[in-house]
């Protein structure tokens, strides 16, 4: 069973920023590493589900022409909207995944601290939708806490094993620390070709 909606409602009822995403150095450093790991200098359209208060959203906006962010909790959406109010390229919506999913495709999808909340059935549905929405040659970034938590069905290491089994995705970067797992994948091109590394993209290899 996926984590109940009441868990998130209760967390945000007690605090506007229940995980201290805007103030904790651990989170700020992790977000900076996430953006630094992007293999392309610029993206056309990014999707960030589970955006919480919008700290990572604001950083993604610096590298993307458009960013669509969403969260299932209304107060989180309101906070993220305020955080990105001066960024015209950002849209924040209230969506519940995997049932609700935006139309269109993206060349960047970021799943940050999200996948461990889903049971096996919902996780499969969410990853299927992610692959379908990711354009050929597009980038998928996943970042997840790697310690056991009661409300988490899996750790970052567990999720890395599942992601490695998706045939459409090729691993481009694999950054692991004691606390989290950060991975970058590229979706195969329509001809089956593997997405280029940053060095290959500039003709260095």
At 20-49, the pLDDT tens digits run 998 999 999 999 999 999 999 999 999 999
Average pLDDT in the chain: 94
- Residue 196 pLDDT more than 90? no
136 burial type by CB count under 10 A (0-12 exposed, 13-18 middle, 19+ buried):
middle
Task: Say yes or no to pLDDT of 55 above 90.
Answer: yes
Give the containing element (helix H, strand E) for 110: strand 106-112
pLDDT at 192 over 70: no
**Token reading at 94:** 């209230």
Q: Per-residue pLDDT for 1 more than 70?
A: no
Residue for token pair 């909790």: 73
What pLDDT was estimated at residue 184? Answer: 98
Residue ranges per structural domain of the chain: 5-12+25-190
> In the predicted model, is pLDDT for residue 126 greater than 80?
yes
**Bridge partner residues of 92 (DSSP):** 69
Mean predicted confidence (pLDDT) in 125-143: 97
Q: What is the pLDDT of residue 85?
A: 95
Predicted model pTM: 0.95
User: CATH assignment of 5-12+25-190?
Assistant: 3.40.50.150
Of 70, 14, 6, 26, whose CA–CA distance to 180 is shortest? 26
CB 35 within 8 A of CB 57: no
- 130 close to 102: Cβ distance less than 8 angstroms: no
């Amino acid at each position: 069973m996926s984590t109940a909606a009441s868990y998130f409602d209760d967390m945000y009822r007690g605090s506007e920023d229940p995980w201290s995403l805007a103030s904790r150095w651990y989170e700020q450093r992790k977000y900076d590493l996430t953006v630094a790991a992007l293999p392309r200098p610029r993206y056309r359209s990014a999707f960030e589900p589970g955006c919480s208060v919008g700290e990572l959203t604001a950083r993604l906006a610096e590298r993307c022409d458009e960013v669509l962010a969403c969260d299932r909790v209304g107060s989180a959406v309101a906070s993220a909207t305020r955080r990105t109010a001066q960024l015209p390229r950002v849209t924040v919506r209230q969506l519940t995944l995997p049932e609700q999913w935006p139309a269109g495709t993206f060349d960047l999808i970021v799943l940050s601290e999200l996948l461990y909340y889903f049971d096996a059935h919902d996780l499969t549905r969410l990853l299927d939708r992610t692959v379908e929405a990711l354009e050929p040659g597009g980038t998928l970034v996943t970042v997840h806490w790697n310690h056991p938590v009661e409300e988490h069905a899996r750790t970052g290491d567990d999720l890395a094993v599942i992601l490695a089994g998706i045939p459409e995705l090729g691993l481009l970067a694999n950054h692991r620390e004691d606390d989290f797992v950060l991975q970058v994948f590229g979706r195969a091109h329509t001809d089956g070709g593997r997405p280029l590394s940053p060095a290959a993209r500039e003709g260095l290899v």
